[in-house]
A and B are shown apart, each in its own frame.
Chain A
Amino acid sequence: MKSIILFAFLSVCCAVARAQEDSLWGIAKNGVDIDEITVKADKNNLEVQMKLPQNIVKLDKNFIETNFSGSLMQSLSLIPGVQAMNIGSNVSKPVIRGLGFNRLAVVENGIKHQGQQWGHEHGLEVSQFSLDEVEIIKGPAAMIYGSDALGGVISLKDNVLPEKQRESRVLFFVRSNNASFGFSANTEGIKDKFFYKLCLSAEKYSDSKVPVDSIQYYSYYIKLKDNRLRNTAGKNGDATLTLGFQGKKLKSTLNISDVYTKSGFFANAHGIEIRLSQIDFDKSFSDIDYPFSTANHLMAVSNNTVKIGRSSLNFDLAFQNNSREEFSEPTSHGYMPKPDGFLERSFYKNTFSFNAGYKMILANHNLHLGINNEFQKNSSGGWGYVLPSFESTANGMYFCDKFYAADNLILSAGVRADFSSMKIFEYKDWFKTPLQNGDSAFVTRSEDFLKHFGSFVFSCGLNYEVGDWVLKCNLGKSFRTPLAAELGSDGINYQIFRYERGNKDLQPEISYQADFGVNFQKNGFTFYFTPFLNFFPNYIYLNPQSRYVEGLQLYEYVQNEVFRLGGEFQADYALKKKAEFSLGGEFLKSKQLSGDKKGYGLPFSQPWSIVNTSKYFIERKRKGNECYVSVTLKYTGAQKNIVPPEKPTPGYFLTNLSAGKKIVLKKTELSADFSVENLFNKVYYNHTSYYRLIDVPEAGRCFSMKIEFKF
């Protein structure tokens, strides 16, 4: 097997390149004239290429608005290679090419978002209403972003200079499945060289509906009342303020945002002994009972860029405070007596980040030199233990060169070094456990220790343009520092009913990846195909054992060799002002090459899928007043390549419909969109959903409506 991998990489090295997907996708969705598309796309394409040697899908505000869904990740999951790991209908985590949790980085205004992304039930705490643009890098991007970015990067920006002198926007939306309703209000403006943006939003939703009347979980047989998942209601509210200055030499923005969420956990599948609950969950489907979680993410970012001749210098400074609390009814379990209070777990994390970069143009070379520094302090609390308190630092420096070898050929290369540390604080049970010798003691779940990690990574690639084709290749090494939970956990994970044991000796996870890209664009037709090969010499894997510890199955963190390959394709065709047609797809294979689970794949691997969207425009005499009707068909294959404790997931076919109309009145624009998801109320399971393991199907038919005023 090793020789195959070696061969793979050698063959890749011969033709180093990197997939590039242009922003056409976002633009083609808006239904602008083909000529406009070509012009815009080319310009945008070039801009995107100038920015990074990496593979980027760039999406604008319109994409997010047009594909508005229950959560940002659900909207983004329409892009081949991007998936949402859903936890109920309004919370989801990002996954790129099958890698999620801490194997991808979410970056907000250049700063890595640091929430509690390691946890299974923790969603992404960002506001989707304030975003100006989204960039998705599929594949390793550790060069600029450091640890975690080995699967990819989702880069969000909401500090872009407003397009108009002054604009406001109010949006209302309702969704039928979980009786969700909400609004967002944005206002932004420019005065001389200063600009401001303000965004407020709020949403409330009830228990989600699934198209079945009962489910089976952990051998429990659960009847659902009115097809609703008990206690999955929630609410959230966000506020974002951006203040900016844009002069000829200096651009400076300050961005302050706060995202709050409160959401119930599916009551039948969470907590220690929920069946002993005295709560009548069925009295209302809109209230949030125990167990529930609250999360608040406060983020302040200052981005500054100074231009000096043909070079530029940037400084980003940020502070983040993430506080997450999980509440449930206190119950005794095993040797743990009934605890006081409802706070089962809490995580309070402060993160300070500082990035600096220097870019200069020297003859045909674009040089980029930079440093990243990050300090995190996490305090865990509550009566349930899952993650130790820790302090971590990460310091990295990088140097990249982009060489314009010819008019149509760009060569890129870069190196990066990182030094990080992880200090874990001791945790002892607050109750005594009997020992074998007859005594009893407060069991130590994690010991005090300090670990240092060092990493060296590289990346090299080329872009080659010939006629209507762009060919790309990239070879890169990325890394990820082990998490506190992976190093220091030793106890029952009540979220998933298993005993998890960390490993102090874990090494930073390394990933080598080769990406190819074939792009074609002509006369309203665009096409790309972006396959990749990926090898992890030491993938950190939570391995299910055959032993029981404290009455639950033991899962241990180990490091295994893993090989993965996959790819995406997308073809778009726009028929002048009349219709748009697109066909996209993705596939992924993964395999463990060593360890106990040699021959198995990786958990949460999505099966292949194909999505087809056909959109027809109905012309109107007045410009801007068009209507559209659109049908999306998605076929997802079965996933049979499973690892314990997964279940094989059958394939499914989904149909979504949407229609919308715009009305332009002088300076006011009114638009209304109506859509139906899962039109035929199909019972289907998403292999990458958190609730898949407990046999909860995805949401049933959902009607939604969105009305927006711009003035």
Chain B
Amino acid sequence: MIKKFLTISAAAFCLCGSMSCNKDEDKKDTEKPSFDNTGATPVEGGKYLPGDTIFVHQIFRDNEELGSFNIEIHNNFDGHSHSTETAKTISKHGDHEHGDVENAWVFNQSYDIPSGQKVYTADLKIPIPETIAEGDYHFMIRVTDKAGWQEIKAVSLEIED
């Protein structure tokens, strides 16, 4: 009785287990999208004047299908740093000056990527308003893929006379 019970339940369990698990590897996307930085602009440490235009050139890549991307620009008046910046720029942040936070420039815009793309090149023009507070800014690009993975890139900019 006991052996029978154990055998039956063990067999049932193993069967269900194996049948449910062995298809585990079916086309599951576990890769994040990535940035291809060949000729990408703006470049790290780029200098701009209020009223200038930021020319954005960025190539996105994904193993399956890209989703959408977002560009956000925020001030770096406190001198924080992002892991994707270069070491040179991080050390430079040490002697920053606090800017006028109230009039800091905030830019936040999302863009669709046409469906079915594994590679997509974004070319955009972002005009810098004349009246913003001058200082260090961070330019952030976020990109998603169809599966919902997200990758982020940060670039430091200087907007001042």
Contacts and interface: CB of A to CB of B under 8 A. Distances in A.
Contacts of A428: none
B82 A544 contact: no
Interface residues of B, number: 53
A406 interface: no
B148 A642 contact: no
B85 to A, nearest CB: 8
A599 B25 CA distance: 8
A665 interface: no
A641 B21 CA distance: 11
Given A12-B12, A276-B101, A469-B2, A644 B154 contact: no
Contacts of A277: 78
B114 to A, nearest CB: 12
B37 to A, nearest CB: 15
Query: Chain B interface mostly helix, strand, loop or mixed?
Result: mixed
Contact of B72 (A12, A466, A551): A551
Nearest to A220: B82
Contacts of B85: 221
A543 B148 contact: yes
A178 to B, nearest CB: 25
A565 B66 CA distance: 33
Given A565-B17, A644-B150, A553 B144 contact: yes
Interface string B33-55: 00000000000000000000000
B57 interface: no
B108 A551 contact: yes
A275 interface: yes
Given A531-B13, A533-B13, A548-B68, A553 B150 contact: yes
B20 interface: yes
Contacts of B90: 221
Given A275-B80, A334-B108, A15 B8 contact: yes
B68 A565 contact: no
A466 B2 contact: yes
Given A221-B82, A276-B78, A551-B110, A645 B8 contact: no
A218 B80 CA distance: 13
B20 A220 contact: no
A589 to B, nearest CB: 6
B105 to A, nearest CB: 13
Interface string B76-118: 0110111111000010000000000100001011100000000
A547 B115 CA distance: 12
Contacts of B6: 471, 518
Interface in A1-36: 1, 4-5, 7-8, 11-12, 14-15, 17
Given A11-B15, A219-B140, A548-B69, 8 more contacts: A1-B20, A218-B152, A467-B2, A518-B6, A545-B67, A545-B148, A565-B20, A591-B24
21 contacts: A15-B5, A15-B9, A219-B152, A221-B81, A276-B77, A471-B6, A473-B9, A516-B9, A546-B66, A546-B144, A546-B148, A549-B110, A551-B70, A551-B110, A589-B20, A589-B21, A591-B20, A596-B147, A596-B148, A600-B28, A648-B30
Interface of B: 1-2, 5-6, 8-9, 12-13, 15-17, 19-21, 23-24, 26-28, 30, 66-70, 72, 74, 77-78, 80-85, 90, 101, 106, 108-110, 140, 142, 144-150, 152-154
